[in-house]
Amino acid sequence: MKALVFEQFGGPEVLLYQEIDNPSIGPNEVLVRTKAIGLNFADIYRRKGNYHLSGNPPYILGYEGAGIVEEVGSEVRDIQVGDRIAFADVPYANAELVAVPEEKAIPVPESVSLEIAASILLQGLTAHYLVHDSYKVKEGDTALVHAAAGGVGQLLTQMVTILGGKAIGLTSSPVKAETAKVAGAEEVFLYNGDWVDQVKDKTDGIGVDVVFESVGATLSNSFSATRTGGTVVFFGMAGGDPEPVDPRMLMDTSKTLTGGDLWNVLTSKEERIKRSCQLFDWIAEGKLKIAEPVQFALEDGKKAHELLESRKSTGKILLIP
């Protein structure tokens, strides 16, 4: 099979498109011929050597995709050859064939394309647990969403609205602000402005109920934009390390700082399927709209990495075998 691989850490130029051996499957796995593969920042971090990689070169990136089952392990009972499945948290996805554990295979309904399924899982499930588990958004809540034009940011904005809340977005440019507004943000402020004061003005001086903080370096400002008794959900640091938080501030303001990791939530096959089905239902009902993903051929993976790393993209990037 063909795969996108690399043998040394570095920039996009280290990626190679070449022939490698087909994966073999175990009794509890299925072999999937990928039709669409999701690209994520974790792939960039691993290519650079910032994240741990197991095994030996050539390394294969990718943890998310969707395709058609070609072979089924001897102990697999609920999946058949020809089934449409998606997967997340499955390594070596940047390839034409991927061995997927049965417990991580998610059935894709006919109402959802394989391209959309490959676009939604990691980012969609992340947004889903943020608004259900890290902070349960309820009717009338006002949420501040960092990086609101990004993949998770757009989904968060929509889910806040679906659950009866109002979303205020933060982003870096007027063009991205328009993207966030299309996703449903009632107001969008820019990072280069006085956004804490603007958020306070928008909320009659009170502050928002919850901030979904993914930048890191803005953590102290996020607390300033939060009402007394409000919550800051910390789930990323794309803009650098946060400053330490003084617990006395939390005590004095009755504010809450909480974190979250998707893999602490998706602990079973049943949980993965239940939450994925919620996403697929919202998509089929038109409640959750997924921007058309930017597609690159798998052999053009270098160009896809360059675009994602430039931070100029606003939607999902897919690799197509």
Decide if 108 contacts 114 (C-beta within 8 A).
yes
- The rounded mean pLDDT for the chain is 94
Domain residue extents for the chain: 2-121+266-320, 139-259
Residue pLDDT, tens place only, 258-269: 997 888 888 899
What's at 224, amino acid-wise? S
What is the C-alpha separation between 251 and 248, in angstroms, rounded?
A: 5
User: According to the model, what pLDDT value does residue 42 have?
Assistant: 87
Q: Which fold has domain 139-259?
A: Rossmann fold (3.40.50)
Q: Residue 235: is its pLDDT beyond 80? A: yes
Condensed to tens digits (0 to 9), the pLDDT of residues 162-175 reads 999 999 999 999 99
* DSSP-derived secondary structure letter, 293: P
Query: What pLDDT is attached to residue 212?
Result: 98
Helices (H) and strands (E) in the chain, counts: 9, 16
Specify the pLDDT at position 200. 98
273-302 residue pLDDT tens: 999 999 999 999 999 999 889 999 999 999
Q: Which uninterrupted H or E stretch holds 141?
A: none
Of residues 52 and 147, more confidence is placed in 147
The verdict on whether omega for the bond into residue 58 sits within 30 degrees of 0, i.e. cis, is yes
Residue 51: pLDDT band (50, 70, 90) is confident
Question: Could you read off the pLDDT of 129-153 as tens digits, one per residue?
Answer: 999 999 999 999 999 999 999 889 9
pLDDT of res. 311: 73
Contact 170, 145 (CB under 8 A): yes
- What confidence score (pLDDT) does residue 310 get? 86
pLDDT at 237: 85
Pick the CATH number of 2-121+266-320 from 3.90.180.10, 3.40.605.10, 3.20.20.140, 1.10.10.10: 3.90.180.10
Cα four-point dihedral sign 60, 66, 70, 73 = positive
* Percent of the chain surpassing pLDDT 90: 86
Q: Which two tokens stand for residue 49?
A: 């050597």
